[in-house]
Amino acid sequence: MIETEERAPRQRPEVLVGVLVLLVCVIGGALVAGLERVGLLSAVFLAPAGLLGCLALFVWPHLGLLVAMFFAVDVLFLGELLDIRVLGGGIELKDLVFALMCGLIWVRGSLDRRYRPRVTLMSKGVSLFLVGALVSAVWAQARGVPLLDTLQGLRPLFYYVMFYLVCGALRDRRQERTVLRGLLIIAALAAAVSIAQYVVGPNLVITGGRIEVGAATSGATRVVLPGTEFVNIMFLFAVCLAVFAPRGRTRLVYIALAGLFGLAVLLSFSRNLWLADFLVLVLLLGLVERRRRGQIVAAALVALIVLALGVLLLGSLPAASSAGASLAEALGNRVTEIMGGNITQLATIDGRLGEVILAWEHIRTSPLLGIGLGAAYYGASDSPWSPGSIQRHPYLVRYVHNGYVSIALKMGIPVLCLYLGIFVLFVAQSLRVFRKADEWQDRAVASAITLSCVGLLITDMIHPAFLSTSGAATIGLLWGLGEVMRLRLRDADVVGASS
């Protein structure tokens, strides 16, 4: 789908091996899940499959990034097939896959300097942020927070290491294109699963995440996968690729993908994603030349038509619409109710203000270190939730919908300032890459990365993707892709100047 230089002879075997690695991970995970039932037989099949997968990922580590993202965003909810009980908690399959990729990249970098991430201002910033997370975990233990709660708070932050994996695994433009194709395929699979879940309704659950029907969606089925943020990011990528792609089949493919991803985002009924997408797409008009703005409007109209047709088609299906209002009506109601409710209804913006008020009291008393990862910041008596909610959802006493407040509360204001500084630095660097790039693929990816980061800064006012597993993995991926592209273009300028 993406135009590249003349392919090397080994391009086809590489893609085949990548597919094989993905299948090995999926099948291996299923075998592990059934280990207690089949015992030795499962181990006999899993051992050679695991060795084959490790060898392939060691040879082509950039394909391992796709495997790690596939599990990190839980496209098919395979990340929980394996759950090793440790300290009262569990280590999931996605954690093991990610740790495996960290080990493989480290070993490969030890043997080959080309696979060692460079020391840059971005890498130093990310390292300091991870150190801040560790300090917060130690501080939580010093304050008597249960170890399991601290580990659960620290676990998602581990996935920011994705930044170093990307910087170490990607060595040239061809690998960048391969990874981008793979990410679009993963997002397409996730979007297809979301749409399929909507079609079959809530009575037949075919994936994980939140599958619910209620007043908030006017009786329509809501499908929120763990990787919904990732699908939304890929929606922005598809839009930017469609805008900058040359006319013809390539642009139509990206428009179709944008429609598919956009429909999945609509079915999530996540108003924060809708608002962020609208705002960043308006910003896209300011990034491009005037002659391209008409193309953006045309592409947007086509994508809207695709979305409208998808909404009408899904809304006409009996299994999808029998539970309540039509899909179009449910989507409209979701937008108009955004400012309704009261302090005990966290489905609204008003309700989430209650969390911020409670969190701010703790931030004022401990602004430098916060209360520590995993610490609770309210009890049943002062909960902004309705009575009985904490009994059903114990994690709520440690959860803040606002990502900025959540970081300040758990890790302190200095760590929040550092984190925002990383975002500002990255967005500024991505904009420079956008202006410097000559090829349309580079300009499209640079603009998509920039808009995605701005969109994340908007959505985290309502939902803390900063501190979720899939969100951290996605942000680390974006930072890594942008840094790799920046260094590649900088190296090309140095070579050109020296010649």
> Which range, 215-224, 338-347, 466-475, has the best average confidence (pLDDT)?
466-475
Provide the percentage of residues in the chain whose pLDDT is more than 90.
28
72 within a domain of the structure (yes/no)? yes
pLDDT at 123 over 60: yes
Say if residues 113 and 343 touch (Cβ distance below 8 Å): no
Helical H segments across 317-402, by residue range: 318-321, 327-336, 349-365, 389-392
Position 38 confidence tier, pLDDT thresholds 50, 70, 90: very low
**Which pLDDT belongs to residue 98?**
84
pLDDT at 137 over 90: yes
Per-residue pLDDT tens over the stretch 164-223: 999 988 888 888 999 999 999 999 999 998 888 888 877 777 777 777 776 555 566 778
pLDDT at 14 over 50: no
> What average pLDDT does the structure give for the chain?
77
Domain boundaries, position 73:
11-116
**Which pLDDT belongs to residue 393?**
61
Q: Which two tokens stand for residue 329?
A: 């009506």
H-run or E-run covering 346: none
Q: Is 185 exposed, middle or buried (0-12, 13-18, 19+ CB in 10 A)?
A: middle
Query: What is the sign of the dihedral through the CA atoms of 132, 65, 60 and 100?
Result: positive
256 within a domain of the structure (yes/no)? no
Residues 6 or more apart whose CB falls under 8 angstroms from that of 68 comprise: 97, 98, 101, 162, 165, 473
Length of the chain: 499
When divided into structural domains, the chain yields a total of: 1
Tracing tokens 């991926």 back to the chain, one arrives at 477
**Mean pLDDT calculated for residue range 319-331:** 57
377 within a domain of the structure (yes/no)? no
pLDDT at 324 over 50: no
φ, ψ for residue 223, nearest 5 deg: -125, 110
Q: Which two tokens stand for residue 230?
A: 């990732």
Per-residue pLDDT tens over the stretch 405-418: 999 999 999 999 99
259 within a domain of the structure (yes/no)? no
**Which pLDDT belongs to residue 425?**
94
**Mean pLDDT calculated for residue range 248-255:** 85
Q: Which two tokens stand for residue 143?
A: 């304050």
60 within a domain of the structure (yes/no)? yes
pLDDT at 129 over 90: yes
**Which pLDDT belongs to residue 274?**
85
Position 349 confidence tier, pLDDT thresholds 50, 70, 90: low
Say if residues 372 and 398 touch (Cβ distance below 8 Å): no
Count of C-beta atoms within a 10 Å radius of residue 319: 14
φ, ψ for residue 211, nearest 5 deg: -120, 105
133 within a domain of the structure (yes/no)? no
* Global confidence as pTM: 0.83
Q: What is the CA radius of gyration of the chain?
A: 23
Nearest residue to 408 (alpha-carbon basis) of 466, 353, 452 = 466
Say if residues 363 and 370 touch (Cβ distance below 8 Å): yes
Q: Which two tokens stand for residue 38?
A: 């089949």
**Mean pLDDT calculated for residue range 264-280:** 87
Position 12 confidence tier, pLDDT thresholds 50, 70, 90: very low
φ, ψ for residue 486, nearest 5 deg: -60, -45
34 within a domain of the structure (yes/no)? yes
44 within a domain of the structure (yes/no)? yes
Position 392 confidence tier, pLDDT thresholds 50, 70, 90: low
Nearest residue to 470 (alpha-carbon basis) of 248, 230, 238 = 230
Q: How far apart are CA 314 and CA 285, in angstroms?
A: 31
Q: Is 368 exposed, middle or buried (0-12, 13-18, 19+ CB in 10 A)?
A: exposed
**375 CA to centre of own chain:** 25
